[in-house]
């Protein structure tokens, strides 16, 4: 450069700095930097704790629940004695259906006995009670259903996979041990020894259990047969109602508030209302559903229609808030452009603003639905916690049939005594989380795909 500065001597020594050299941090700076490092460490620790809590939670659920998708079955030959299952001998399913399930239990019992005898299995202390409780009570019902569906089987020797009891199943999943069996009236070490022998023989298999997804709930004593079929269907029905009601209503309300509403008392009131409704505890919505829909309007308890309505009211504020944000994000220039070519306000909104805001609205709706899907408390109050074994029929009538819901089914199972239900509750959570994950991925996909920068 042209300046004289370059000719000047280096200032070192010429002007001794009044302070200490910058190259040596003083004690105070060192202290302050240590405080800085500590503060930063707190931040990292906080994040680590949060992430670790998530990992712990997911690990606990996954490790408890993964085994719910596998189930132990015994494959033993069973003689379908015609004298027992078809006393009249005419192979008429209507006649045969009068034979009680208990009789099939005897057939299975005989099958077990002859199996033990034929394989020459010798176990100390193995008594009839052990053989009887080896198989699930559900196995009798399943066998009966199979015979009724196909009367040709009568008189034959069939080898069908029969559900084992939850204790035998638990033995192969590590939940039941020889020590715990000794103290358990529902099983015994001898029964477990039999299970080992049968396993060695190949007569016991633990395999993937699709019934867990499709079966309805089962009673207290049949944990091994309980499934999520009714709960999934009930949740699906409710989500359908929530989607059909909350999306149009939510969008309509948002459009009015964001695009048309004059700034006045009423608008303010509505806005304050929506903000507060979003923060009202979910159980209060349950009370509303009980008092308004069931007691006042006389809708049936346990029905998806009531659950759907309650969840709709609960989800609406979320959807309205998300939709308004999406509408706000559409730049005013678009509105000006449409109004400028002579479109009416209504046309501007419906032809231009709404389509542009649609990805944001859909994302918000999906997130709202995901929240509704996982909500439990309000559903407990409207009777969804009842034991429902029948599948609801197809909509619209099915919406009024009793049904369960996924999160309520989980709650229901945690209330039961048999520890096998805890495994199933965790398994049901995995199913629930898979649904939630799918919905969130869809939301992320929509957002990525239609993301727009103005």
Of the pair 121, 436, the CB lying nearest another protein is at 436
Of the pair 295, 333, the CB lying nearest another protein is at 295
String marking each residue 17-36 x if it binds another protein according to CB under 8 A: xxx-xxxxxx-xx--xx-xx
Residue with tokens 């959807």: 319
Supply 134's token pair: 């080896």
| 9 DSSP assignment | P
- The three-class DSSP label of residue 390 is coil
Residues 233-252 that bind another protein (CB under 8 A): 248-250, 252
Among 131, 223, 370, 446, binds another protein (CB under 8 A): 370
Residues 424-453 that bind another protein (CB under 8 A): 425-426, 429, 432-433, 436, 440
Of the pair 36, 127, the CB lying nearest another protein is at 36
Residues 300-359 that bind another protein (CB under 8 A): 313, 316-317, 320, 344-346
Among 200, 269, 329, 441, binds another protein (CB under 8 A): 269
Residues 398-427 that bind another protein (CB under 8 A): 407, 410-411, 414, 422, 425-426
Cβ 374 to another protein, closest distance in Å? 3
Report d(CA 259, CA 257) in Å as an integer.
6
Q: How far is CA 265 from CA 16, 253, 275, 306, in A?
A: 70, 16, 15, 33
| 344 DSSP assignment | -
Residue with tokens 């059909």: 244
Of the pair 48, 200, the CB lying nearest another protein is at 48
Of the pair 19, 263, the CB lying nearest another protein is at 19
Of the pair 227, 383, the CB lying nearest another protein is at 383
Residues 155-184 that bind another protein (CB under 8 A): none
Of the pair 102, 297, the CB lying nearest another protein is at 297
Report d(CA 301, CA 221) in Å as an integer.
25
Residues 88-107 that bind another protein (CB under 8 A): none
Closest to 383 measured CA to CA, from 307, 302, 293: 302
Interface stretch with another protein, choices 1-9, 190-198, 206-214, 446-454 (CB under 8 A): 1-9
Q: Does 61 bind another protein (CB under 8 A)?
A: yes
Supply 98's token pair: 């009068």
Q: Does 277 bind another protein (CB under 8 A)?
A: yes
Among 90, 219, 295, 333, binds another protein (CB under 8 A): 295
String marking each residue 377-396 x if it binds another protein according to CB under 8 A: x--xx-x-x----------x
Report d(CA 5, CA 2) in Å as an integer.
9
Closest to 163 measured CA to CA, from 137, 144, 199, 182: 137
DSSP conformation letters of 78-122: EE--HHHH-TT-S--HHHHTTS-HHHHHHHHHHHHHHHHHHTT--
Closest to 212 measured CA to CA, from 197, 226, 233: 226
Residues 202-221 that bind another protein (CB under 8 A): none
Q: Does 264 bind another protein (CB under 8 A)?
A: no
Closest to 400 measured CA to CA, from 283, 309, 278, 280: 309
Among 183, 262, 265, 296, binds another protein (CB under 8 A): 296
Closest to 247 measured CA to CA, from 401, 354, 111, 113: 354
């Amino acid at each position: 450069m042209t300046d004289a500065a370059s000719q000047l001597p280096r200032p070192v020594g010429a002007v001794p700095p009044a302070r200490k050299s910058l190259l040596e941090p003083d004690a105070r700076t060192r202290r302050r930097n240590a405080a800085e490092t500590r503060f930063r460490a707190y931040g990292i620790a906080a994040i680590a704790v949060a992430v670790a809590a998530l990992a712990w939670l997911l690990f606990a659920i996954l490790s408890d629940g993964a085994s719910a998708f596998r189930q132990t079955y015994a494959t033993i030959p069973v003689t379908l004695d015609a004298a027992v299952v078809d006393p009249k001998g005419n192979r008429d399913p209507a006649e045969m259906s009068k034979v009680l399930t208990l009789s099939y239990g005897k057939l299975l019992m005989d099958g077990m006995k002859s199996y033990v005898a034929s394989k020459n299995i010798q176990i100390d202390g193995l008594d009839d009670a052990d053989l009887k409780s080896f198989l699930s009570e559900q196995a009798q019902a399943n066998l009966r259903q199979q015979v009724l569906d196909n009367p040709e089987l009568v008189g034959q020797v069939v080898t069908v996979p029969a559900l084992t009891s939850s204790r035998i199943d638990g033995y192969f999943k590590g939940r039941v041990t020889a020590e715990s069996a000794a103290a358990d009236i529902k099983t015994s070490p001898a029964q477990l020894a039999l299970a080992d022998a049968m396993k060695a023989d190949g007569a016991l298999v633990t395999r993937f259990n699709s019934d867990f997804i499709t079966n309805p709930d089962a009673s207290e004593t049949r944990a091994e047969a309980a499934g999520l079929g009714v709960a999934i269907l009930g949740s699906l029905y409710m989500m359908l109602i929530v989607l059909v009601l909350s999306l149009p209503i939510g969008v309509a309300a948002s459009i009015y508030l964001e695009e048309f509403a004059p700034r006045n008392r009423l608008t303010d009131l509505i806005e304050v209302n929506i903000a507060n409704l979003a923060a009202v505890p979910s159980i209060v919505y349950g009370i509303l559903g009980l008092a308004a829909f069931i007691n006042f309007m006389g809708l049936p308890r346990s029905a998806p229609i009531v659950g759907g309505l309650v969840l709709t009211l609960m989800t609406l504020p979320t959807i309205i808030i998300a939709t308004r944000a999406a509408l706000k994000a559409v730049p005013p220039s678009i509105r000006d452009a449409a109004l400028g070519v002579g479109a009416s306000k209504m046309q501007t909104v419906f032809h231009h603003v709404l389509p542009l805001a649609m990805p944001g609205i859909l994302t918000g709706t999906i997130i709202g639905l995901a929240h509704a899907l996982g909500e439990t408390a309000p559903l407990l109050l409207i009777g969804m916690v009842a034991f429902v074994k029948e599948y609801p029929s197809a909509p619209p009538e099915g919406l009024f049939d009793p049904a369960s819901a996924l999160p309520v089914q989980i709650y229901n199972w945690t209330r039961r005594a048999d520890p096998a239900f805890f495994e199933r509750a965790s398994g049901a959570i995995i199913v629930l989380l898979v649904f939630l994950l799918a919905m969130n991925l869809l939301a992320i996909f929509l957002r990525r795909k239609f993301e727009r920068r103005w």
